[in-house]
Structure 1
C-alpha cells in the first residue's frame, strides 16, 4: 500500500520527519498484518470482525502514552472502564475467510493512513472525513506498493501564492505529475482543443485541458527542486481509468493513460520493487517544505484514539 505523505492542506506527520516515517509505516503495517493473521489462525477474531484487545491501536503506534499528561491518562482509564462495562462480551469467533480478513486490514489501513495524513502529536487538521469515501485516493493507495509516496490534492505555496494541484506520485526513480479526467464511464476525450477537451464530441460537455495543469505542476516541481538535486525523472500523465483519450498531441515527458493502457501502466509501476531511496525521500521533503498547511493545536482532552505517536 502506497504512503499518503500529504493530503490537501492537512498537517502530516511526514512533514516533521520525512526520513523517519516511511520505514516506520512499513514496519507498523507488517506488524499489524502479522497480529491479524495470528489472531485469525488462533480464532481470536470475533464477530463483528475485530480483535478482543487493543492490538489495533498498538499496532498503529497510537497506544503509546508516553508524554501524556496525568489528566489524559486518567481519562483514558475511565474510557476503557466505561467501554468494557457497556459493551457486551463477544462469544462468537469470526467464521469468514482469510480474504475477508485482508479486506478488513486494507480498510483499516486506509483509515489510519488518513489519520497519519491529518494529525501529529501536537497538531491536527479538520475536514479529513470528506476523503473517507474518495475512491480515487483509496485506489492509488491500494494498488501501489509501499515504495511509492503520494501527495493528493496538495496545496503549494510559491512566491506567496497558493496553488492546489491534482496528484503527485513519487516512485524510487520517477516523479509522476497526474491530472485526472473524471467523466462518465466510456467517455471519449478529444485532445485537439488548446483550452478545453471535448467529451464525447459535445460542445457543452468539456474539461479544462489537463496539459495546462500538468505543465504548471512540472514548473512547480522544478521551482522547488534545485537542478543539482533533480534525481527523479519527471513524467506528466493525463489519466482516466474509465474513458478513452483520443491523443493528437505529443509532447516530451507526456503520457496518456486511459482504459486501454491503464492496466499495463499500473503493472509497470507495481513491478518496481526497488526500496525507497534517499533521492526519493529528499525530493519528498523539499516538496513538503513548500506545501501550505492548516492545523490547530491538539487539546490535552483529545480522545485516546486520536493520540498519535511522535
Structure 2
C-alpha cells in the first residue's frame, strides 16, 4: 500500500520525521496483517476485535504519556534537549489500526479488501494530523477513487504527495500528483472521462476530448504537469538531490492521441497501461535513503493549514497552570 505523505495543504506526520514514519508504517501494517489474518483463519475475529478495543485504550494512554513528556521537556529544559525528547516520543508511538470491519469477510480476498480500506482511513488520519495538531479534512477524500488507487494499488515503498500545495515566494501553488518510488520521481497528471473516450493533444492551450462522437475543449494538461516538474527540479537542485524525474499523462479508461508529443512526456492509456502499471508494482526494492531525502526536500516547501487538537488545548491549560507554579 502506497504511503500518503502529503495531502493538499493538510498537516502530516511525515512532515515531522520522514525518516521515521515510512518504516514505521510498513512495520505496523505487516504486524497488524499477520494478526488479523491469523484470527480470520482460526475463526477468532471476535476475540481479535475485543483485543483491539483494549489496544485502542492503550493508544490513548500512549498519547497522554507523550503529552506529559512534552511538557516535562519544557520544565527540564536544561537537563535534556528537545530533539532527544522527540526521538523518544516517536519510538514510543504505536498506532493500532482498527477495531472491526464493516462487513464479515468470507474469503481471504474479502479480508484483504477490508484490511486495505481500514488502512486507507489510517493513512488519511496520518496525513491530516500529528500528536499536537490536526487539519480539518474534506470528507470527499474518503471516496476519492484516484487517491485510493495510488494508496491501495502500489507497494508500501511508494510515497505519494497528492496534489500538494507548495509555498513558493509567499504564494501557494497546487501541484500535480507526485509519486516517489525507491528509484524515481513520477509526476502524474490524470486525464480521464468516460470509457473509451479520446484525448487529442497538441501544442495549443486547449486540447480536444472526444466522447461518443462529441467534442469538447479541455485545458492542456501539460501546462500543470510541466510546472510540477519545473518546481521539483528546482527544489532538488537547491538541496543537492539527484533523483530522476519522469512526467506521465495517465488515461486508464481511454486513449491519448498526440502525434508530435514532447519526448520527455510518457503517455499512458488503455493500450500500454497494464505494462506500465505492472512494471511499477513489480519493483522489488526497499525504501531508499535518496528517496527519503527527496521526500524531505519536497516537504520543506509544502504549505500546511492546521489547528491545535482539542485535547492538547485542554492539556495546555492544565500544564500552563502547573508551569506557573513550578517556575
TM over 0.5: yes
Label 1:159 to 1:106 Cα distance change in 2 as closer, same or farther (>3 A): same
Alpha-carbon contact 1:45-1:94 (below 8 Å) kept: no
User: What aligned pairs does 1:24-173 form with structure 2 within 5 A after superposition?
Assistant: 24-46=24-46, 51-54=49-52, 64-67=62-65, 96-173=106-183
Alpha-carbon contact 1:7-1:151 (below 8 Å) kept: yes
Shift of 1:287: 0.5
**Unpaired segments of 5 or more residues in structure 2?**
69-99, 314-327
Alpha-carbon contact 1:14-1:21 (below 8 Å) kept: yes
Shift of 1:121: 0.3
Q: Which runs of 4+ in 1 moved over 4 A?
A: 55-63, 201-204
Aligned residues: 279
Q: Which deviations, in whole Å up to 9, do the C-alpha atoms of 1:189-248 show, x marking residues without a partner?
A: 101251111001878612211111111001110121126733221101111111100022
**Unpaired segments of 5 or more residues in structure 1?**
71-89, 303-310
C-alpha separation in 1, matches of 2:61 and 2:115: 18
Q: Which deviations, in whole Å up to 9, do the C-alpha atoms of 1:60-97 show, x marking residues without a partner?
A: 96663442679xxxxxxxxxxxxxxxxxxx9xx95722
More deviation in 183-192 or 25-34? 183-192
C-alpha separation in 2, matches of 1:190 and 1:270: 28
Label 1:180 to 1:45 Cα distance change in 2 as closer, same or farther (>3 A): same
Alpha-carbon contact 1:174-1:235 (below 8 Å) kept: yes
Shift of 1:271: 1.4
User: What aligned pairs does 1:286-297 form with structure 2 within 5 A after superposition?
Assistant: 286-297=297-308
Say which of 166, 170, 195 aligns to 1:185.
Answer: 195
C-alpha separation in 2, matches of 1:255 and 1:94: 42
SS in 2 for 1:126: coil
Alignment RMSD, CA only?
A: 2.7
C-alpha separation in 1, matches of 2:183 and 2:221: 24
C-alpha separation in 2, matches of 1:164 and 1:118: 17
Label 1:226 to 1:274 Cα distance change in 2 as closer, same or farther (>3 A): same
C-alpha separation in 1, matches of 2:278 and 2:57: 30
C-alpha separation in 1, matches of 2:166 and 2:61: 33
SS in 2 for 1:216: helix
Q: Which deviations, in whole Å up to 9, do the C-alpha atoms of 1:125-172 show, x marking residues without a partner?
A: 002422000001101111110111000010011111211122000011
Quick one: higher RCO (CA 8 Å, sep 6+), 1 or 2? 1
More deviation in 202-211 or 20-29? 202-211
C-alpha separation in 2, matches of 1:173 and 1:229: 16
TM-score (ref. length: structure 2): 0.78
Say which of 192, 210, 228 aligns to 2:221.
Answer: 210
Alpha-carbon contact 1:234-1:253 (below 8 Å) kept: no
SS in 1 for 2:296: helix
| Aligned equivalent of 1:23 | 23
TM-score (ref. length: structure 1): 0.83
